[in-house]
A and B are shown apart, each in its own frame.
Chain A
Amino acid sequence: MYDFKGFTMEWYKELFQDTRLLIIVLNTLVIALLSALIATIIGVIGAIGIRSFTSSKAKNTVLSLNNVLIVSPDVIIGASFLILFTMAGIKLGFYSVLLSHIAFSIPIVVLLVLPKLQEMSPTLIDAARDLGASRWDVLTKVILPYILPGIFAGFFMALTYSLDDFAVTFFVTGNGFSTLSVEIYSLARRGISLNINALSTLLFVVTLLLVVVYYFITQRVRQTGMGGKR
């Protein structure tokens, strides 16, 4: 669209003066973080619940229900949510977007946590109970630490799903609330201005920094952890 003419910081300047766009970026981040967090909590509880079912018929039924949101197309989910929210009288905006994001993230968390739970040997729990652990202790000291990698995977998966979701969000935004994907899409009719490019660069740099920081933290934890064992 634009010919390369040289380097300039002009678009970054313009980006930071555009409060509307900044608010939208922050909205996107908050929605992603909160929805991933809440979905992870509900999803983990759900996965533990599903595992505790004794009849395999009930288990399969619940699991298939869980998969409904994964197999149905985003557009259908979005349209259904729009109808649901307007029927329930929920004003479109922050809460409608948050609720729908939580809803489509939960099944992902469940699916990522469940294999970890199934892989865990039931003897571990029996042993803990034998040694006098209460139910709460079993949950917090045995089960949760064991499935921790699954929980983190679920959380980050939910986070990315929420960040890049367009179709569902498109239907349930309204009243001045918007997320980045929807906003960029509406800009497309008149050609996208270069501050979107500037914004993408910044977001990319920030995520890159986070990854680097995360890498160093895990390195350090691993080293001190190993030192402790010796």
Chain B
Amino acid sequence: MKRLLQMFLLISIVSALLLYAISSLNSSQGFTSSNTLTIYNWGDYIDTDLIERFEEETGIKVIYETFDSNEAMMTKIEQGGTTYDIAIPSEYMIDKMRQEDLLVPLDHSKLPNLKNIDERFIDLPFDPENKYSVPYFWGTVGIVYNSKMLDGKEITAWADLWDKDLKNEILLTDGAREVMGMGLNSLNYSLNDTDEEHLQEAKSKLDALTPNIKAIVGDESRMLLEAQEAAIGLVWSGVASEIMAENEDLEYVVPKEGSNLWFDNMVIPKTTKNVDAAHQFINFMLDPKVAAQNAEYVSYSTPNKEALKYMPEEVVKDERFYPSPELTKKLEVYENLGKKNLAHYNELFLEFKMHRK
């Protein structure tokens, strides 16, 4: 009994000490004050120095929390019990969240810096007039290839993937929209096409690609490409910039037929307790210098036109991540095609996955 009591006391004391340490660490950061802003972002997707600067400039204390998928984020917000003031979902999620009535409309008068965003990225189909969202980062879907493994061969278009020499070299992403989009784009159709004939054509075009496909994978494609398990991968530009930093032989290209354009966007979810601070934060992040610093840290493409002036020229001129206006015209955002069409896309993608070599 004595030992039990000793143990009990010891653990209580240790926990009390730890709790004290946490609260003093928290208060040293000023988290206890009532004027707080809770940000819900992807892991490692902001330069934390900027959060500190925002706290200093405004006196608002930031609580920063991270998520790993749009779906997880939406569940947390939908269920309530949380007080997120800012969230950063991808564009297809915004449509969904708007329909579920989870977003607070933005007050544009409080966002003077909105003018810094490139017109190309304003008023897009997933959020007309930017009523609910402001783009945070953007990117493309394209091809990563290992020039060394391909003996210096260059890839510039989707059509190049159908080359007979590329047997068993291609990794595809396990996403119906991405892969079907690739099929449609390679035939110069829109990746939001719903014409049955076009879709069937794209599907049989994709079937013809099967001998070249090594695997259809998820997030592990990043590792496989880095480790040179495959020479070619269909990836998002963000993933591309990361793995290119690790393996110098890798090259990224946005196919010239056109491709997908994606966005991660700042929104104010319904769970907010501090709408003013949320607007202040969005406006702060739209400041050209802030956006430039953030873009350099995250190494994704910023939609902030003014920020480009503060960034190194070799980054801004890099056509792989800041494609020329001619190419951007061919890039399309995924539109919400409705349940029926989406199911059809998924069905065709499934059939393609089952297609035998």
Contacts and interface: CB of A to CB of B under 8 A. Distances in A.
Contacts of A23: 22, 25-26
Contact of A174 (B18, B31, B42, B82): B82
A26 B63 contact: no
Interface residues of B, number: 43
Contacts of A191: 44, 222, 242
A58 interface: no
A181 to B, nearest CB: 12
B15 A37 contact: yes
Contacts of A22: 25
Contacts of B3: 148
Chain B contact residues, majority secondary structure: helix
B26 A190 contact: no
A103 interface: no
Contact of A27 (B22, B31, B44, B75): B22
Interface string B1-44: 10110011001101100110110011011010000001000111
Interface string B39-67: 00011110010000000000000011111
Interface in B257-294: none
A60 interface: no
B67 A186 contact: yes
A26 B25 contact: yes
A151 interface: yes
Interface in A81-121: 82-83, 85-86, 89-92, 96
Nearest to B21: A26
A175 B82 contact: yes
A133 B8 CA distance: 25
A129 interface: no
Chain A contact residues, majority secondary structure: helix
Contact of A19 (B1, B28, B65, B81): B28
B44 A19 contact: no
A151 to B, nearest CB: 7
Interface residues of A, number: 45
B4 A148 contact: yes
A128 interface: no
Chain B CB within 10 A, most for which of A2, A23, A140, A193: A23
A174 B76 contact: yes
Interface stretch (A5-13, A28-36, A68-76, A201-209): A28-36
A176 B44 contact: no
Interface of B: 1, 3-4, 7-8, 11-12, 14-15, 18-19, 21-22, 25-26, 28-29, 31, 38, 42-45, 48, 63-68, 72, 75-76, 79-83, 219, 222, 226, 242, 246
12 contacts: A19-B25, A30-B18, A37-B8, A82-B81, A89-B81, A91-B82, A170-B72, A174-B82, A186-B67, A187-B44, A188-B219, A189-B42
